Every structure is written in structure tokens, then in C-alpha cells.
């Protein structure tokens, strides 16, 4: 079995005139991560591999999860190809994961994240909001075979406040 945990980056700031990949998180992102992690940490069973986009907003969100869930440095990677908004590119990166890994966290961007949640999982969502988390299980032995899975958990900050 393979378990995919998709997390959209936290709410980012448009206040500064920065390139897209350098936009920082807003204060709300830290609060949203706190409520999602409060609900999720009891569900989480290590080990897992954590992959994040290099964009500041995704990387900072991933680091909050890493610290709270006590993820080892060797299990935390910045994957440049995750800086994409396209679900097919996102899925291609996921399918490249080593089959030694049974649980994979991916921190990325919309609209790719929402489209992937809807195409891979069996429960639809209109939008995976910022800091939204979705867990999908697949009855496969290889990440290359990930197609249609079972959505077992969706956590949205607005539903947890």
C-alpha cells in the first residue's frame, strides 16, 4: 500500500513586489498550520518522506510540518519540479518516488493540488484551500502504479477553527 498526503502551501502574502516563488507566508498561514497539525498529528504514523516545492510559501509550510512531526533531515527534500501548477507534472514527480517509501508528503501549489486530489481520490472537493491536507491510500506496491485511490482524510483549516 502507498499513502499520499497532499498539502497545499499556507496563505501567502502579496504585499511585496517579489517574484512568485519568493512570496512569504502571511501570519494566518502559521495559525492554519497549527490547527491542521493539531488535528493531524494523532493520525500520523512515521516514517514518511517529505517533498516540497522550493517556493518560499511551500517550503516554509513543509518546515512547520517537519518540526511538529519530528521528521528526520534525511526524509525531507526540496524537489524543484514540485514548483508547478500542473497536475500531470505533479503526478509525474509523485510517480518518481522510490518504492521503498510507503508514505509520501507533497507540499505544492494550486490548481494542480486540487485537481490531483479530485482525480486520485474518491471524494471530491471544490478547492483544496491553503494549508489544506488530503490523505489518499492506494492498493499498489509501486508509486508508478498510482491511479485511483481512497480518500481517507481531508483537513481544511476553516473546518477546524
CATH code of the domain containing 154: 3.40.50.1240
Tell me, what's the pLDDT at 29? 98
Q: 31 in a domain, yes or no?
A: yes
Residue 46 located in a structural domain = yes
Number of domains forming the structure of the chain: 1
Q: Is residue 126 part of a domain?
A: no
What are the pLDDT digits (tens) for 23-49?
999 999 999 999 999 999 999 999 999
In a domain? residue 127: no
The pLDDT > 70 percentage for the chain reads 100
Q: Please check whether residue 42 lies inside any domain of the structure.
A: yes
Read off φ and ψ for residue 26, nearest 5 degrees.
Answer: -85, 165
Is residue 128 domain-resident? no
In this structure, are residues 94 and 5 in contact, taking their beta carbons and an 8 Å threshold? no
Q: Is residue 25 part of a domain?
A: yes
* Per-residue model confidence as pLDDT tens digits over 128-151: 999 999 999 999 999 999 999 999
Q: 85-112, pLDDT tens digit by residue?
A: 999 999 999 999 999 999 999 999 999 9
Cell 490523505 maps to which residue? Answer: 135
CB crowding 51-89: b at 16 or more within 10 Å, else e:
bbbebbbbbbbbbbbbebeebeeebbebbeebbbeebee
Position of cell 518560499? 56
Burial tier of 133 (Cβ tally within 10 Å: 0-12, 13-18, 19+): buried
* Backbone phi and psi for residue 106, each to the nearest 5 degrees, phi listed first: -130, 125
Domain of 26, in residue numbers: 2-13+20-121+133-160
Amino acid at each position: 500500500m502507498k499513502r499520499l498526503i497532499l498539502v497545499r502551501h499556507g496563505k501567502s502574502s502579496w504585499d511585496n513586489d517579489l517574484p512568485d516563488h519568493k512570496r512569504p507566508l502571511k501570519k494566518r498561514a502559521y495559525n492554519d498550520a497549527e490547527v491542521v497539525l493539531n488535528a493531524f498529528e494523532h493520525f500520523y504514523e512515521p516514517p514518511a518522506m517529505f517533498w516540497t516545492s522550493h517556493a518560499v510559501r511551500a517550503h516554509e509550510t513543509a518546515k512547520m510540518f517537519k518540526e511538529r512531526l519530528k521528521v528526520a533531515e534525511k526524509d525531507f527534500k526540496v524537489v524543484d519540479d514540485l514548483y508547478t501548477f500542473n497536475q500531470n507534472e505533479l503526478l509525474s514527480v509523485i510517480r518518481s518516488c522510490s518504492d521503498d517509501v510507503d508514505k509520501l508528503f507533497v507540499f505544492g501549489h494550486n490548481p494542480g493540488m486540487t485537481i490531483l486530489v479530485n482525480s486520485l481520490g474518491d471524494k471530491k472537493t471544490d478547492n483544496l484551500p491553503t494549508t489544506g491536507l488530503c490523505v489518499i491510500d492506494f492498493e499498489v506496491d509501486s508509486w508508478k502504479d498510482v491511479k485511483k485511490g481512497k480518500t481517507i482524510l481531508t483537513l481544511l483549516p476553516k473546518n477546524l477553527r
